[in-house]
Amino acid sequence: MPHQATADLHTAASAVSPPASVPAGLPEVSTRERFRGLLWLVSAAFFMQALDSTVVNTAVPAMAEALLVTPLGMRTALTSYVLTLAILIPASPWLCDRLGTRRVFGIAIVIFGVGSLLCGVAQTLPQLVAARVLQGVGGASLMPVGRYVLVRSIHKHEFVRAMSTVATFGLLGSVLGPLFGGALVQFTSWRLIFLINVPVAIAGVWMNQRDMPDYRLDRANRFDLFGFLLFAAASALLLTASELAGSKPVPWQLIGLSSASAVLLGVAYVWHSRRTVHPVADLRLLQVRSVWVALAGGLFTRLGISGMFLLLVLFLQVGCGWSPLMAGLMMVPQALGSISAKWVIHRALVHFGYRRLLLGNTLMVAMLLATFALLGPASPVWLIASLTFLYGSFAGLQYTAMNTLIYSDLDIQHASMASSMASTAQYLAMSFGIALSTLLMEAMLQGHAHDDYVVAFRWTVLLLAAITAAASRVFSRLRHDRPLPVSAAAG
């Protein structure tokens, strides 16, 4: 869900101190005015990424039909993109320090555009997956580099307004994505969902050369390549094991080998990170209770709810026979609910504190998930729209509270690493959450007609609700309730 990433943008941006004053020798003019082109460039990048993340879900049934696979078999095209983001995000800060922000951001836009073009002309699922991985390679640098450049460029008195502008474009993309995707699929072709990114990318390259500052370090720290490879291989093997679980027949030996190899590589990374000065992910931060609770709680929560967007689209289109446009329209209330959550999160945290809010809200999200099991083909449109709005609202509260919690006990010098770790954990959990939800639904369909999506959907959301409710146990490990930090409240 793209609004997860947008909520993380608000949090991470407010946790890093922007420039304290206008650089010497420059006229006293608003930095937002001087960097107006940069603000538009970063906003457009966030809008494009958010739109692309949501627009695909609505098109899954049509894409599956064109590529001659089942709708649930399309999960690889979704998880491969998100997993690539998770793996490559930690490399972005080093690339900026070494190559400069203008070059990295420009290359990222080009790669994203080429990946989009290849997605639009893909003729088979493996071709689409490879193109989605290429999209992820480019997309992995868009958010971190854009956020970093704004932190370096915008005056602190105008920084919150600038970040709010960027985040608003991201949220707008998440709102328009499902509706836009449904309309394109119904009236044109699903391929335009990807091809429309190409002219946007071309404009982005031109704006990057004109408006992007070129920040870099004269001497960048040495990149933890070995640790990066260990982490990437472990993550890829875990997702491979989950993909193999959906094969017929199930290759248990390969699943066991992939899982065992992933665990061994993960253990090797833990050993390596403790002996490295600048690890790609500093696991020493996990000694801070709020950090490991936020990461672990976010992991288990997203395992339960990340696949809900896709499941609901399949339920409405395949199970209930809705048109792509109507199914996309039903996704809009969820995004609007997530947007509405940001207006109450500060007061909710001040009133309840982290522990009580996350405990209660996690259970509320689980209950709303279970309520979806009551829906069927005869359910009125207003009921589905109301339920998706409520679900989006409480899920938005959950994401923002979890993303804020990770910074509550950290010194400012650790904020950048915490932001990178939070983003990586977020996308990893999303990729595994999508894989888990589709595997559960496939299991519910075994032995039945493959179009019995309504019954499968009901049992799947009940199981996901149970997983989400169990995640509340992690948040009970917080020592006591604390109000929202002032820096995070500003975002």
- Which superfamily does 2-18+28-223+280-490 belong to? MFS general substrate transporter like domains (1.20.1250.20)
Question: Domain map of the chain by residue range?
Answer: 2-18+28-223+280-490, 224-279
pLDDT at res. 80? 87
- Count of CA atoms in the C-beta half-sphere (13 A) of 404: 29
pLDDT at res. 159? 63
Of the candidates 304, 320, 252, 364, the one whose C-alpha atom is nearest the C-alpha of residue 456 is 320
- Determine contact, residues 177/334, Cβ cutoff 8 Å: no
At 277-287, the pLDDT tens digits run 878 888 888 88
At 97-116, the pLDDT tens digits run 788 888 999 999 999 999 99
pLDDT at res. 243? 75
Number of residues assigned to the chain: 491
- Round to whole Å and give the CA distance between 93 and 102: 13
Report, as ranges of residue numbers, the positions in the chain whose pLDDT lies below 70: 1-34, 155-161, 163-164, 217-221, 246-247, 412-413, 415-416, 447-451, 480-491
Give 342's contacts (C-beta < 8 A, 6+ positions apart). 7, 10, 396, 400
- Determine contact, residues 28/22, Cβ cutoff 8 Å: yes
First to last CA, the chain: 20
Cα 110 to its chain centre, rounded Å, is: 21
Q: What is the pTM of this model?
A: 0.80
